[in-house]
Copies of this chain bind each other. A is one copy, B any other.
Amino acid sequence: MPTLLQRVHQAIRRQQLCEPGSRVLVGLSGGADSVALTLLLRDLAAEGDVVLAGLVHVHHGLRATADRDEAFCRALAARLALPLEVERADVRGVAAREGRSLEDAARRLRYLLLARAAERLGADRVAVAHTLDDQAETVLLRLVRGAGLTGAAGIHPRRGQVIRPLLGVSRAELRAELAARGEPWVEDESNADLANPRSRVRHRVLPELDRVLGAPVAPALARAAALAGEDGAWLDALAGARVEALTRAMPGGLALDAVGLKAEPLPLRRRILRQVLRSRSPGREIGLEHVEAALDVLVGGRRGADVPGSRVELRPGKLVLLDKGAASDVVPAGSDPE
């Protein structure tokens, strides 16, 4: 069995998370996962495999324990002799201003602040501590929220400069590692709040599923997510290659070759429509229900459909996506049975 350090090293190499000479900044909350990530990357840095640029702690201001967490991170950084950036996130303010949920605002702000700290410390990678369990939770949450299975592809090991070297490691393994090293961490009380959907998945759903299987289910869920990610990425690429051939600009919108679109196999047809609808709706998510509505229009199941950014209608040989507002010129009021 490879050691935990060897497995993290292998994940970084196999998934090409770093380049030679990459300078890595570590996101440190003070929780077990990010403390373990810090120590593991420090060991890899000592072996010359990566360069540790420093640590960054995002002070959310939402938790009663935020000051305690910051103090813990400052003490750890001092002990490890690593530079620490502390970023203050006005989550409530951003959520209110941008009309987002606290969870969504916190997530966006966190990645923004991590990127800012990376720039200040001259880092080209930001390592965050998502684990195998986070992956399993994400897959289940996306599934039940109706993302479809390809939507359930899960957390990526790398997105731009953000890398996640612990996606193959369970939380229990990280805690065991810290215990073995005699290293302390702080507990995030918000994780225990069952009003939080992710906490409920973590503390109620996954333990029940583990009982069903008689073993941890996180590896199977993570594996399913990885395979769905592979399938999805390839199908998306195939669909993307067809989009240009099938679409034509038209006054007030975009036209899709209806005959050509119908000739595509259903998995591609869905993805082509999704990509085209998405390109016309920056910032608003196109869901399965919008793709379904457009598909229904394509096969004549309904006269038209309103989706984010477009009014979808069928014309002879064409599925047209009209800019919102232009539609009212074309469709007599009340003509749509939907």
Contacts and interface: CB of A to CB of B under 8 A. Distances in A.
B231 A150 contact: yes
Contacts of A152: 149, 224
Interface in A130-147: 140-141, 143-147
B220 A144 contact: yes
Nearest to A288: B223
Interface string A145-185: 11111101000000000000000000000000000000000
A224 B140 contact: no
Copy count, this protein chain: 2
A104 interface: no
A221 interface: yes
Contacts of A267: 230-231, 234-235
A201 B205 CA distance: 10
A305 to B, nearest CB: 18
Contacts of A265: 234
A200 interface: yes
Interface in A192-244: 197, 200-201, 204-205, 208-209, 211-213, 217, 219-221, 223-225, 227-228, 230-231, 234-235
Given A224-B149, A227-B149, A231-B150, A212 B144 contact: yes
Contacts of A223: 146, 148, 288
A-B pairs, top 6 by smallest CB distance, nearest first, are A146-B220, A144-B217, A149-B228, A149-B149, A204-B208, A231-B267
6 contacts: A144-B212, A145-B220, A146-B219, A149-B231, A200-B211, A200-B212
